[in-house]
Structure 1
Amino acid sequence: MLHANDNTHRMFVAEQVGIIWVYLPDGSRLEEPFLDIKKIVLASPWIGDERGFLGMAFHPKHKHNRKFYIYYSYMDKKKAEKIRISEFKVLASDVNKADPRSERSLLELEEPAANHNGGQLLFGLDGCLYLFIGDGGKAGDPFGKFGNAQNKSTLLGKVLRIDVNRKSKDGKPYRIPPDNPFVLDPKALPEVYAYGVRNMWRCAVDRGDPVTHKGRGRIFCGDVGQNRFEEVDIIVKGGNYGWRAKEGFECYDIKLCYNSSLDDILPIFAYGHSVGKSVTGGYVYRGCESPNLNGLYIFGDFMSGRLMALQEDERENKWKKQDICIGSTKACAFPGLISSYSKFIISFAEDEAGELYFMATSYPSAYAPHGSIYKIVDPARRAPPGKCKHKPIPVKTKSKHIPFAPLAKTVLELLNEPPTIKPPNTSSISTGATPTTSSKKAKKPASPKSSTKLSAVKPTVSGKKRQVKGSKTKLEPADEKTKAPKVSKASRVTSLPDRKGSQLTRAKKKLLPKKTAAAKEKKQKKKGVRSRSSL
């Protein structure tokens, strides 16, 4: 999920199967997709399959040149599995539609295995395109004497940096930036910017402090580990990030690890598999709405569902971890709050105003319509009213709008509600939002993990969104000044059509005894009335 940085404040949400949707600032979704390349993209319904549509980036001058870039898996005519990085253009006649005929392939790489496909694309402040390529898959990077990641003559297991605004003299559809670190090394490919990476999943550029601009331009990445450790890195020019010699701070390949020429860059943070088994990199918060979160690097874990934050300690030159949790019994004691979000955290996002989101699913398959989008909000301290207003440039739309329709109240709406006759429900689990017509099963509450108040946002393909009452938590006492974010839940993304008859009606029908139901239906037929459940 990303924005085009064109002052329209639209968000573009891509699905692994190869389809991209446009969401407008009011939360509504356009009925027609921005791009649909499902027929080209290699994806499957296998649980945990890492192939598919994996990344996207808008050109820094997209507003003027209409260009954007995508990263996806596909199978060539010889049945070889590859990844492709391509350039596309948006139609001149409709800013909400990509031109499917404008694809220009920039780079293709054959994948030795189905996993470790990387997938991140982003533009740095230097205007160059950075590509984050996995090590080729399998386990332990078993390719060659030192593995792909330590071999600078292959593009696998690397961070690449290219200039997409120019073509090279040797016929490549991009130019090698002259200051790339290994352009003069005959044993290295000139595209390589950094190496020794395993499978970096989700990287982001720090906008910098809103006032001092400190930290601006740093690139943060989560690098998925092998058997023991997950890590977070800051990418630097020419850096060796250690894989397969090291995993996190520890040795993985003993011989490589003690090689004096390794000279690797250590992660800013690593955690063991008792915490989580697959890091999902996030963003440094630089938004306006939640001032206490400024400077926190917020990320998560795909397998455990943990949300975490790192805070920089400049004196000790360290990053200290704080858990962000929904579900603490003490924190959720406020009546009417719930504490559930989908376990498998897929990715993070930043909107044009700098506010943060994360995406998660309750079933980790590309074809399962169970994805949700959550907005991170800190209810403990909000920006003053009117401070964070922005005026999006209006966009002409030709497609039908599927409106945002909240089906549950937010925490602030609950607080402002007049007292009702019924006593408030104090259970953080039983006050979950009513399932929408298209939902197939209710979500399980998230288990308590630590301390941050979150409230959430879920987009459905039927376009209807629902907001789930936020759970209340606070950040751990590692830094009492930093309060916890609240997460707000949008709508369920699904490409399945709505079924006729409501979920509630179907549930009631199941509860009726067969004889009673048959008698009731017979009686209604005599009256010439059709039951809702038979529609």
Structure 2
Amino acid sequence: IRALLHPQCLDYQPPFKPPYHLEFCNYYEMFGCCDQKTDNLIAERYWDIMDLLGDEGYELCGDFVKDILCQECSPYAAHLYDAEDPYTPVRHLPGLCFSYCINFHTKCHSVVKYLSDSKILQESCEKDRSHFCNLINLPDQDYCYPNVLQNNDLYSNLGKVVEDPKGCLQLCLKEVANGLRNPVLMLHSGDGTHRMFVAEQLGFVWVFLRDGSRLEQPFLDISGDVLTTPWLGDERGFLGLAFHPQYKHNGRFFIYYSILVNSKLEKIRISEMKVSAHDMNVADPYSERMLLEIEEPAANHNGGQLLFGLDGYLYIFTGDGGKAGDPFGKFGNSQNKSALLGKALRINVDGSSNNGKPYKIPPDNPFINEPDARPEVYAYGVRNMWRCSVDRGDPVTHYGRGRIFCGDVGQNRYEEIDIIVKGGNYGWRAKEGFECFDIKLCQNSSLDDILPIYAYGHHIGKSVTGGYIYRGCESPNLNGLYLFGDFMSGRLMALEEDRNSESWKEKNVCMGDAKTCSFPGLINHHHKFIISFAEDEAGGFLSVSPFGTVYKFVDPSR
């Protein structure tokens, strides 16, 4: 399967390689959502239908029916069956692209009554072919069958900036690291060494020296403890890393990763560790001290951002618990302040509390006096914030210093960028972007949510990756811009603040043309997906690709 979109099964688990050969839906035996038992059940259903059709029907419609039934095994089954939208029932039939559906209906409309017991589908199938195919189609043409396998235009354009270069700020790239295995973050330790630390989802952290060389021994290897799989689309794994503001003196750092308890219960764990007393480039493997564990009800939406604010406190960004539409409890996890999922948490790691917790609650945490709220909660109503950053502030005026920016991944329609403030409600699941998602919750007068500073629709991208405000010296045209991207489309974007109107406006950025980026060592293209952004100790700006490459942005005008 050539498609590299966002694979997910109907049970919200990542796709996998079946342990045994699939006899029927063998197209998906290398990577998909069916094991042999499910494959056998689909085959039984298929032959039951073929018995009803007879030899002539088998000859005409057998391939159609097999393709349609086997989409349950597709690595994109959750999208094909619209399972990610909690306000639509899971489809009886997968989303079929209009032209494919017309061809299917022309030859095999009599089969529909065997594939679905939906009266709406059966009636429209008999009365109006176009209406039937519009019902079967998906709004997102990237995922309807067979586009999900064959849309060459989609895949060939992934990672290419589509803006007209005229009037856009052209940037070049310089490759600074490669050969990594699905890196998810890169950051510096703030100790004056200018080392960069790159974390791989498998549970390894590597050290890159100032000259760009990578040390042979990993800084940290907890791959034996981290819950992850090699399958594309698995959101679990080693997800977060933060160095203590006094790391240079105390050697303390903090990690965020997925674990499996008793071979059954999935959790996220936040722990403290220390650097080795004998080697500054290796962590002490025996120093782990667990701070917090949170049960994860599903495999997706695991959050994963750790960072220290200028207040010295550790901020922890959790996902809403997964599945679709935050279906947990009456209002979902994100709007429930007694749950730790779907939140920005804030704790003081310099000390322990009287009740035995290995951290303290900051005395000004906003919900500390609410009896039903967890005292760790700093902000709520977030879905799955993927990459947050602290603004260094203008190097001269210090304007903006300490603001926390986050990209919050959307559900069906919108991706958003938020500035996190104490006590803020960021709207999910009542809202997605600027629009209502759950109508009843959205119309609740007590919602009082904080709107994003920017949101964009799924025609631009489908999974936001939060970035940084550029405050470095090397690329003057980037000064004050918030640069971020989209994981799915590979698109690079920027926001510029209008302080007079207190609003943010998109600024066009694009890869420079061949002539612009013709200097030695510069390139004008990157891999398809942007999984993370980073800032080096001097304020330089980098992006991380899951294909194992790290790039540094260069303003060619310098």
SS at 1:172 equivalent: coil
Residue 344 (str. 1) matches residue 529 (str. 2): yes
User: Corresponding residue for 1:179?
Assistant: 364
TM-score (norm 1): 0.68
TM-score (norm 2): 0.65
Against the structure 1 CA distance between its residues 328 and 271, is the aligned structure 2 distance closer, same or farther, given a 3 Å change threshold?
farther
User: Corresponding residue for 2:195?
Assistant: 10
Tell me, in whole angstroms, the C-alpha distance in 2 between the residues paired with 1:169 and 1:9. Answer: 38
Cα distance per residue 1:198-240 (max 9 Å; x no partner): 0000000000001000000000000000000000000000000
SS at 1:46 equivalent: coil
User: Corresponding residue for 1:33?
Assistant: 218
Residue 375 (str. 1) matches residue 547 (str. 2): no
User: Corresponding residue for 2:469?
Assistant: 284
SS at 1:255 equivalent: helix
Cα distance per residue 1:492-525 (max 9 Å; x no partner): xxxxxxxxxxxxxxxxxxxxxxxxxxxxxxxxxx
The answer on whether the counterparts of 2:514 and 2:524 sit within 8 Å (CA) in structure 1 is no
The answer on whether the counterparts of 2:314 and 2:346 sit within 8 Å (CA) in structure 1 is yes
Cα distance per residue 1:304-350 (max 9 Å; x no partner): 00000000011121111123222668967999985321111100000
Cα distance per residue 1:1-28 (max 9 Å; x no partner): 1111000000001100000110100111
User: Corresponding residue for 2:307?
Assistant: 122
The answer on whether the counterparts of 2:468 and 2:483 sit within 8 Å (CA) in structure 1 is yes
SS at 1:102 equivalent: coil
CA drift of 1:371 comes to: 1.3
TM alignment of 1:361-510, pairs within 5 A: 361=546, 370-380=547-557, 382=558
User: How many residues get paired?
Assistant: 373
Cα distance per residue 1:134-192 (max 9 Å; x no partner): 00000000001100000000000000000000100001000001100000000111000
User: Corresponding residue for 1:301?
Assistant: 486
Tell me, in whole angstroms, the C-alpha distance in 1 between the residues paired with 2:263 and 2:277. Answer: 35
C-alpha RMSD of matched pairs (Å) = 1.6
Residue 66 (str. 1) matches residue 251 (str. 2): yes
CA drift of 1:47 comes to: 1.1
Code of the aligned partner of 2:429:
R
Tell me, in whole angstroms, the C-alpha distance in 1 between the residues paired with 2:233 and 2:329. Answer: 27
Code of the aligned partner of 1:171:
G
The answer on whether the counterparts of 1:183 and 1:189 sit within 8 Å (CA) in structure 2 is yes
Alignment gaps of 5+ in structure 1: 362-369, 383-535
Cα distance per residue 1:429-479 (max 9 Å; x no partner): xxxxxxxxxxxxxxxxxxxxxxxxxxxxxxxxxxxxxxxxxxxxxxxxxxx
- Which of residues 398, 407, 416 in structure 2 aligns to 1:231? 416
Aligned-pair identity in percent equals 75
Code of the aligned partner of 1:377:
V
Following superposition, which runs of at least 4 residues in structure 1 exceed 6 angstroms of deviation?
A: 329-337
User: Corresponding residue for 2:280?
Assistant: 95
Tell me, in whole angstroms, the C-alpha distance in 2 between the residues paired with 1:292 and 1:325. Answer: 13
Tell me, in whole angstroms, the C-alpha distance in 1 between the residues paired with 2:402 and 2:211. Answer: 30
User: Corresponding residue for 1:275?
Assistant: 460
Against the structure 1 CA distance between its residues 111 and 337, is the aligned structure 2 distance closer, same or farther, given a 3 Å change threshold?
closer
CA drift of 1:46 comes to: 1.4
Tell me, in whole angstroms, the C-alpha distance in 1 between the residues paired with 2:311 and 2:330. Answer: 35
Tell me, in whole angstroms, the C-alpha distance in 1 between the residues paired with 2:317 and 2:294. Answer: 12
User: Corresponding residue for 2:324?
Assistant: 139
- Which of residues 246, 264, 269 in structure 2 aligns to 1:79? 264
- Which of residues 290, 294, 307 in structure 2 aligns to 1:105? 290
Code of the aligned partner of 1:47:
L
User: Corresponding residue for 1:247?
Assistant: 432
User: Corresponding residue for 2:10?
Assistant: none
